[in-house]
Amino acid sequence: MAELLPLRPAAVLAAWEEGLSQGSVERALTLLALALPGVARDEMADLSIGQRDALLLELRARSFGPVAPCVVRCPSCQETLEFPVQLPALRVPAPAAAEGVVTFGDLRLRVRSATSRDLLASACAADPVLALLERCVTAEHAAAGDPAAVPAEAAELVAAEMARLDPQADVRFDLSCAACGAAWTTVFDVVAYLWREIESEAQRLLAEVDALARAYCWSELAILEMSRPRRLAYLRLAGAA
């Protein structure tokens, strides 16, 4: 896959504008489309969620740096914990095999990890979790019944195998509270994290464009293409910073 381009100010605003009306899965694809302009969206939709998240971690590191400040509330005493997360440390090696096998009674189920396309396609199903499992499973031979169906009793085994095949899709780390001693595990959702940053960065950029366009009548693009130090210098001269 081509090299990721860091998100420059114009791309941050484009991501924010497009992502406003999107859900998490689509937002992730929007961000990758901006970072990998030469790669078809379809191709990115077929990456596993872990492959997608690895790219998003890299994109965040290239765009805003490798250290992600995190703020979490202690579930026990509600104390606020602030700590930096080193994004490269969240990378998990991919397992050697892209597919696994789950046997359940007479069924032999070939399992693969889920992609963005699978998540989007199963989201509208009556039971999205079961629909997702069925998309990612091929029954090699069935004793009876519908060979495409995953028996409800096998669903947990299939889900566990899917998680094993794509560990990057579910990054967790342990936390403990200095105030009360509580210990718990938290999930790092790179899409949600990056989206919050895009939202706040976009608001900041919009305010800067607004102030400079009022003061100097420059175009939005001209202002966004300036380096940040230059934008800030003009904001100070215009009395807006």
Closest by alpha carbon to 146, among 129, 130, 124, 128? 130
Least distance to Zn ion, CB of residue 184, Å: 9
Shorter beta-carbon distance to Zn ion: residue 157 or 182: 182
What is the spatial distance between Cα 79 and Cα 72, in angstroms, rounded to a whole number? 8
**Positions 48 through 107 that interact with Zn ion (CB under 5 A):** 74, 76-77, 79
The position carrying tokens 């293409």 is 225
Q: Give the count of beta carbons closer than 10 Å to the beta carbon of residue 70.
A: 15
Shorter beta-carbon distance to Zn ion: residue 5 or 182: 182
Least distance to Zn ion, CB of residue 79, Å: 5
Binding-site residue total for Zn ion (CB under 5 A)?
8
Shorter beta-carbon distance to Zn ion: residue 79 or 156: 79
Least distance to Zn ion, CB of residue 77, Å: 3
Shorter beta-carbon distance to Zn ion: residue 176 or 200: 176
Determine if 148 is a binding residue for Zn ion (CB under 5 A). Answer: no
Least distance to Zn ion, CB of residue 82, Å: 13
Pair 25, 192: CB distance under 8 Å: no
Parallel, antiparallel, or unpaired for β 99-104 and 107-112? antiparallel
Shorter beta-carbon distance to Zn ion: residue 97 or 179: 179
Query: Over the Cα atoms of the chain, what is R_g?
Result: 22
Shorter beta-carbon distance to Zn ion: residue 24 or 176: 176
Complete edge-to-edge strand list for the sheet that includes strand 99-104: 99-104, 107-112, 137-141
Least distance to Zn ion, CB of residue 181, Å: 7
**Positions 149 through 188 that interact with Zn ion (CB under 5 A):** 177, 179-180, 182
Give the ranges where the chain is alpha helix by DSSP (H).
Answer: 9-19, 24-35, 41-45, 49-64, 116-122, 128-135, 155-165, 190-216, 220-225, 228-237
Least distance to Zn ion, CB of residue 189, Å: 22
Residues that bind Zn ion (CB under 5 A): 74, 76-77, 79, 177, 179-180, 182
